[in-house]
């Protein structure tokens, strides 16, 4: 089956789950055309991401005249459909935060995407995130392109469902994917019950065959690792007062922050002001091998997020047989079991987070290792990328049919 993936900015260091999903579908015989609106500005440190960039077609690189020409050809060949898509783009732009002009650009992108899908004989299009990629997929369908589906990750989509026209995107899709039961519940809020059956749960996946054997837990004082973009919703700033509270009784406690982002300078300044800079390492973005090495040196992953979907970093840490200390939000409790595979704490509660780290530090090594083993068993059972890709493939095949 030939399909197209419609993406906004791809590849990105934090979107390895999209790459894994496409590769798993290709192992199952799918032929995939990768259509991203633009390339990432971030440095691609992982060779797999660089390989994906070489395979991806970038829509905006075609240039505005080419995109406008594609839209004009659609108007001449399918005037009623094109005017309908124009009206939809205008309505969506009127309620969005980015405005109508941006949505007219999406419409031109959609015309280019529809033409490319026809050239490639793509029978289905799948987008990731309910933002502009899903808008392009929907408008492409209205212009005569293939049926579409899209995966909603959150939390951005759940923060602004009306501004993103999330309901119309779900209603017009052949099906919509949520990455957790929590995510599915949030999508059900914005459409009539008649559409609920077409909202499916397909987890993001890990690749068990590529996982190294779990390293034994290191000896010594707790070493924690946090992974993610340095932005407000990830909550890394909460780790500063947490460490300040813990270090008097645990002077050898260490934290490694993997990632980067607009809040990096703020985090570094806060660590210095709190007198904990000696206990914090800013590692920057690492490739998959680097992340695996960092997890091998750690006793646990900490995830202090205020808003999430279901983070890949939690899956990767659990696959490395490391317990997780995470906030009790969104889909995280579907994977992290309090007291079994880690600890769940209320979001924003620094004291509760510190108490969880104290509990980790007090746990005998054998019990902590057993918790890590339980974490690995749970994630391997629930998040094998080939199993999840098979579910997605079944939905795509069921949706395929005569293209009206």
Residue 401 has a pLDDT of 63
Closest CA to 153 of 15, 302, 315, 341: 15
Which segments of the chain have a pLDDT < 50? 403-404
All structural domains of the chain with their residue ranges: 2-205+385-399, 209-382
pLDDT of residue 402: 56
Give which of 364, 361, 369 is closest to 245, Cα–Cα. 361
> Are the C-beta atoms of 4 and 120 separated by less than 8 Å?
yes
SS3 content of the chain, % helix, strand, coil (to 5): 50, 15, 30
pLDDT of residue 404: 43
Spatial distance between the Cα atoms of 336 and 340, rounded to a whole number of angstroms: 8
- Edge-to-edge strands, sheet with 2-9: 56-58, 31-38, 2-9, 124-128, 147-152, 175-178, 199-201
- pLDDT one-digit tens code per residue, 181-205: 999 999 999 999 999 999 999 999 9
Cα dist. 234→244, 278, 371 in Å?
19, 22, 24
Element housing 319 (H / E): helix 312-319
| CATH class of this structure's domain 2-205+385-399 | alpha beta
- Cis peptide leading into 155, omega within 30 of 0? yes
179, 331 contact by CB (below 8 A): yes
**CA pair distance 44, 10, nearest whole angstrom:** 10
* Per-residue CA distances from 43 to 20, 133, 261, 293 (Å): 19, 22, 12, 20
Give the pLDDT confidence of 253-288 residue by residue, as tens digits: 999 999 999 999 999 999 999 999 999 999 998 888
| pLDDT score recorded for residue 16 | 87
pTM of the model: 0.90
For domain 209-382, give the fold: Rossmann fold (3.40.50)
């Amino acid at each position: 089956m030939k399909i197209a993936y419609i993406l906004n900015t791809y590849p990105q260091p934090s979107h390895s789950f999209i790459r894994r999903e496409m590769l798993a579908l290709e192992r199952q015989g799918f032929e995939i055309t990768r259509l991203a609106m633009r390339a990432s500005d971030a440095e691609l440190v992982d060779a797999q991401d660089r390989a994906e960039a070489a395979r991806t077609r970038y829509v905006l690189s075609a240039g505005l005249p080419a995109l406008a020409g594609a839209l004009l050809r659609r108007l001449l060949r399918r005037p009623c459909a094109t005017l309908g898509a124009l009206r939809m783009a205008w309505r969506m732009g009127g309620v969005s935060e980015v405005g109508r002009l941006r949505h007219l650009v999406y419409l031109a992108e959609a015309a280019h995407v529809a033409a490319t899908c026809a050239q490639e004989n793509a029978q289905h299009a799948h987008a990731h995130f309910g933002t502009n990629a899903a808008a392009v997929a929907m408008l492409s369908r209205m212009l005569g392109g293939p049926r579409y589906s899209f995966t909603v990750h959150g939390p951005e989509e759940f923060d602004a469902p009306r501004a993103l026209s999330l309901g119309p995107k779900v209603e017009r899709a052949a099906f919509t994917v949520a990455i957790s039961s929590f995510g599915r519940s949030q999508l059900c809020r914005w459409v009539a019950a008649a559409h609920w059956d077409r909202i499916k749960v397909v987890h993001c996946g890990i690749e068990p065959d590529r996982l190294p054997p779990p390293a034994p837990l290191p000896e010594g004082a707790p070493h924690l690792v946090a992974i993610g973009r340095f932005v407000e919703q990830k909550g890394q700033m909460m780790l500063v007062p947490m460490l300040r509270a813990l270090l008097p009784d645990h002077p050898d406690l260490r934290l490694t922050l993997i990632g980067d982002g607009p809040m990096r300078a703020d985090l570094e300044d806060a660590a210095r002001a709190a007198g904990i800079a000696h206990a914090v390492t800013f590692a920057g973005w690492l490739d998959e091998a680097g992340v695996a090495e960092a997890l091998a040196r750690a006793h646990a992953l900490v995830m202090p997020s205020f808003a999430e979907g279901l983070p890949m970093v939690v899956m990767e840490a659990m696959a490395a047989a490391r317990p997780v200390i995470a906030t009790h939000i969104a889909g995280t409790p579907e994977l992290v079991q309090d007291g079994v595979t880690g600890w769940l704490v209320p979001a924003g509660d620094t004291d509760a987070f510190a108490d969880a780290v104290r509990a980790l530090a007090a746990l005998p090594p054998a019990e902590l290792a057993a918790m890590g083993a339980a974490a690995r068993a749970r994630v391997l059972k629930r998040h094998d990328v080939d199993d999840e890709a098979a579910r997605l493939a079944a939905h795509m095949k069921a949706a395929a049919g005569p293209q009206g």
